[in-house]
Structure 1
Amino acid sequence: MKSVTFEDSLFEECYFEDITSSNTFFKNCTFISTVFYNTDLFEYKFINSRVVNSTFLHNKEGCQLDFSDDNNAYM
């Protein structure tokens, strides 16, 4: 995912795997029984969202560079 904003969405029993997202946010969303595996979806990307009975495993660490958007990078 590059630049996506999800608003007022429900994610139930979903599996997010190997996701690097430079500018993705979840606003007023609900996650129920969802697994996040090897992602960079950190707490600050979930704005006014609820995470219920969900698991974050093997989060990406270190400097994540994204050159897909006009050579912009984030660290």
Structure 2
Amino acid sequence: QQKTASLLQQPFGPWLVGIIGALIIVVAIYQLYKSYSMKFLEELNLGRMSLKQQPGQFASADLVEQQGLWFWQSLAFS
């Protein structure tokens, strides 16, 4: 939050924070696309992963999406 706040105080800050948020959201959407279309299976060998590791592939996309939304909200509500 401190880094975002210091960026928002700069003349170019709101634009930069918005661009970072948009990029994070685009990455999250791409990861969700890969997870729902099962394209990530082409890169992974799930047989070598433990049962605890497999759900992490889906959770990582959600985490990235939340970070993007946080950046976007900091721009919208500043």
TM-score range, shorter chain: under 0.3
TM-score, length of structure 2 as denominator length: 0.20
TM-score, length of structure 1 as denominator length: 0.21
- Larger strand fraction of residues: 1
- Larger helix fraction of residues: 2
Larger Cα-atom Rg: 2
